[in-house]
Structure 1
């Protein structure tokens, strides 16, 4: 029975974490291999599950507590192409991060591997949950594991501060989400996504329904680092170990976008107009893409630079989420692979040189990793045949300004990443005249994350980088990926089919047409990559800006102050803007 696999895929990483914790203290230094094997088992379970649900949807009622007359108190797990493929992506990224960490960390720290497995179980549970309250539960479990992984270097004040900001801002968003869940339960007496959707179908979207939508989505938007809920993300990425950044940037933040779309399409689509939802995505997607791009261009701390690039690409995901489900799948998988590889290379730089400053690393990188870094930078711009470019090409069917904006965002962020790569690995551009900058975090003097300086990257570290690059490339060219993307897009956006899933039989889903490579799409991708190259080369030899540009730079750095009180203030402003967007 395929539905039996659903709880197993959630329980296995959590059980493995418990077993590893019990055995790790007795057999020191031997936890890396068991941790990797546990992730491989999870990948196998999810792969088998995906093969059974493709084109359909299966439901598992935990402990047999089934729905009766649209009501139920049991835990519901729903497996479809969207949720299972996202869970599989989380497992693959975790496997690559664990492989990279085999030689990256000085010794087998059982706490790290236990937290990673808990993190994986929470992400899979979030992707498969068919109950709004359980979405919140897995959201919180995901957050607790991520907070601890971010601040795992407790002996360093910067690590603790980054983890603290992460925890406070995300916890505030979670409380608002829980309040929204409580309002819906008070209104309907139901918590299942399908049951809530049935209760709200045909109702007028009054103030309570709109308010509950705003509150529930706030937590998901915070997790996705959508502007102005984004401030925690760069602080967390700057201090988290590079393998953890792969998970935070590659899958955890996009899961926030998944939560927003899944919640609307299943619960609110029958009551709240799609035009309101599209307007919300358009407003916040544009803000996120633009501000993320500006901040990315201003960074010299390599991990912060990559983090702000993630924020900009989350903005693009929001624009695609309005109705381009298959394109959203391509973009998500492509970005996860490429960005994960770039973060791992940043980790290698930090371990080899004890520095993560673009200026301080001038001309110090290796040629192999440099070539991969440059290729990854161009892939972020949408270079064919990487999946990011294929996902972006879906915007050809929409307003021209959206395609132009997304192409510009991709080119500018890729140009910033490429600038850093050319300077670090190939010594191009003006030699840095000084490293002092009162406004920007440089990354100078940071301690290696593995607690030791590596002479060079090991084979397992290089293999992990290569695997992630191949994921970003393969999703755009492997036969069958278009079919999976089409089925995932249909499963994510449909309303009536999901509501029908409260039955015990698989519900078929015909899928939607996935984007395919076209001449226009390929030319847009090539043009974005060429524009990114020009931006990078121009930045390498330009002189520091003065006047209005300098004032804007100072203001942006001042806003991103690092003070958690400021971040909470911006969160409340974001809730107000979200409320006005939905209530209007």
Structure 2
């Protein structure tokens, strides 16, 4: 019988072993066998991650690799520390991987076992990143998930757009990784430690150290590049536009949000004792607001469906970061629940765009006007769009309500409402146009700066008519998960999990001494009248904005508004130029800003 300490390594090792098995058998068995094995490995990984989350509810599960055990004055070796938040992230990775593989049954008939093997390796990298308690191991798992993600982005390597998107993704994330590795070197040179609990013990009682501060800032920059926080966000829409739809489920649902998780883990588990909370709060708040607003505006401007969803992810990344910026268990609980609910809804939306692409060879909202004859899928798309805006009684809605209540600021609450409404409105507008032909037929002409998705090669050509049951089943399962996460009996675990996550002393004591401490009580998770009211307001605002976009004649807008809108649109399109040199320059600017904000505390 497996002990709890065996679960963290198993959650990581199982998909790696499964990927190796698939590659070994790929040329000798049928594709049906390959897909069945991949689903079986993903299901087993999901079961292990679920058991780990249950075990973590009784205290963080600590595993020292290689049999090392820390002593009073000597702590070496690699440690895995699975608290409830980390185990929950691993479970989310496993569930999304399972449903993505279900959707992709027979998806790439010409890739043999490479596609499911890469998906399993990708999930192993993300799970390891969530569970490790070692700074250098975080970098190793960061690179594992990155390499798998680059390959999955460029699967259609005969298409120039796919190569370009994968190249942008790879180069920008590699630059972030170099800065991260340099920061790890600075931290190790100063402290002689890489384990997060060992780092916390070493830094406790020390004064302000500029080398440690700069090292932390550089490591965080690497995680923020992965999270696509502005101004590190340029690669994300390019990668989503060319990656297969089931891969985008993992990109938007967990890979990018794991960058926010990594920064929060690094702060609370290792560096909290060495950094000024006011400086960390200021850095996170500034980046969160800029990311949320820019992502929402860019989302509203898109007509390429996958790019629209990608910019919606950027906007929500900003909202997740806004919760972490509160530096409280309430903020962490809000961000964690919002992240999980968003992952389910956004995953369903990406899978539905995959169905559209497979049958219509286009992702252009304008050219698809009224052409997609799947009213059932259309109804699910519209419902998911309203969920994205924060519809009450859903996981995303409950996370959003907690975020609004944790901020205790009218301006921040208004930002959350408007940003979520804008992203929901953009997706709702597209769904009503594409599936139901609502509003006037839009023009199909495009400017040089605009990416339309008018002529896209499908990931898989499915026959016209009813989509395969595996595709529809994966969509329905994700939307059901999104609703389940809004039930307080399910979501209530986020409160104690957040308190455990923010208990820096408890993390260190559990990992180094094996002593379980009692974490302070976490926030109570429930629906309130205020939360329901703000959620209804966000959903109603999204519907109103979508209705204006569909039915309001442009000539009714004042000329100055139309001119200003065109100027803003042109400027933002030029900013997102697609040139690697521009993106690399913005990355360096962002790294300098992050370092300055943290060091100024």
TM-score range, shorter chain: over 0.9
Pair 1:320 & 2:323 matched: yes
Answer yes or no: is the 8 Å Cα contact 1:489–1:511 preserved in 2: no
User: 2-side partners of 1:78 and 1:454: how far apart?
Assistant: 48
- Identify the residue that residue 497 of structure 1 maps to in structure 2: 506
- Identify the residue that residue 22 of structure 2 maps to in structure 1: 20
Pair 1:345 & 2:352 matched: yes
User: 1-side partners of 2:30 and 2:75: how far apart?
Assistant: 46
1:4 aligned to 3, 6, 14, which one? Answer: 6
User: 2-side partners of 1:443 and 1:480: how far apart?
Assistant: 39
User: 2-side partners of 1:420 and 1:54: how far apart?
Assistant: 41
Query: What displacement does 1:430 show?
Result: 1.1
What aligned pairs does 1:11-50 form with structure 2 within 5 A after superposition?
A: 11-29=13-31, 30-50=33-53
Query: What displacement does 1:329 show?
Result: 1.6
Query: What displacement does 1:440 show?
Result: 1.1
Answer yes or no: is the 8 Å Cα contact 1:55–1:508 preserved in 2: no
User: 1-side partners of 2:517 and 2:52: how far apart?
Assistant: 15
SS of the aligned residue for 1:60 comes to strand
- Identify the residue that residue 557 of structure 2 maps to in structure 1: none
SS of the aligned residue for 2:342 comes to helix
- Identify the residue that residue 517 of structure 1 maps to in structure 2: 527
Q: Which runs of 5+ in 2 are unaligned?
A: 555-560
Query: What displacement does 1:277 show?
Result: 1.3
- Identify the residue that residue 385 of structure 2 maps to in structure 1: 377
Change over 3 Å in CA distance of 1:70–1:154 after alignment to 2: farther
Q: Which runs of 5+ in 1 are unaligned?
A: none
User: 2-side partners of 1:528 and 1:452: how far apart?
Assistant: 36
2:241 aligned to 238, 243, 249, which one? Answer: 238
Answer yes or no: is the 8 Å Cα contact 1:300–1:359 preserved in 2: yes
Change over 3 Å in CA distance of 1:452–1:437 after alignment to 2: farther
Pair 1:487 & 2:490 matched: no
Q: Which has the higher contact order (CA 8 A, sep 6+)?
A: 1
Answer yes or no: is the 8 Å Cα contact 2:488–2:526 preserved in 1: no
SS of the aligned residue for 2:274 comes to coil
- Identify the residue that residue 363 of structure 1 maps to in structure 2: 370
SS of the aligned residue for 2:273 comes to coil
Give the total of aligned pairs: 583
2:405 aligned to 396, 403, 414, which one? Answer: 396
What aligned pairs does 1:141-290 form with structure 2 within 5 A after superposition?
A: 141-290=144-293
User: 1-side partners of 2:367 and 2:521: how far apart?
Assistant: 50
Query: What displacement does 1:516 show?
Result: 1.3
Query: What displacement does 1:4 show?
Result: 1.4
Query: What displacement does 1:437 show?
Result: 2.7
SS of the aligned residue for 1:548 comes to helix
Answer yes or no: is the 8 Å Cα contact 1:261–1:492 preserved in 2: no
Pair 1:421 & 2:431 matched: yes
Task: Calculate the TM-score normalised by the size of structure 1.
Answer: 0.97
User: 1-side partners of 2:265 and 2:259: how far apart?
Assistant: 10
SS of the aligned residue for 1:479 comes to helix
Query: What displacement does 1:541 show?
Result: 2.8
Query: What displacement does 1:202 show?
Result: 2.3
Task: Calculate the TM-score normalised by the size of structure 2.
Answer: 0.95
Change over 3 Å in CA distance of 1:442–1:273 after alignment to 2: same
1:386 aligned to 388, 394, 401, which one? Answer: 394
- Identify the residue that residue 298 of structure 1 maps to in structure 2: 301
User: 1-side partners of 2:582 and 2:483: how far apart?
Assistant: 39
Change over 3 Å in CA distance of 1:13–1:453 after alignment to 2: same
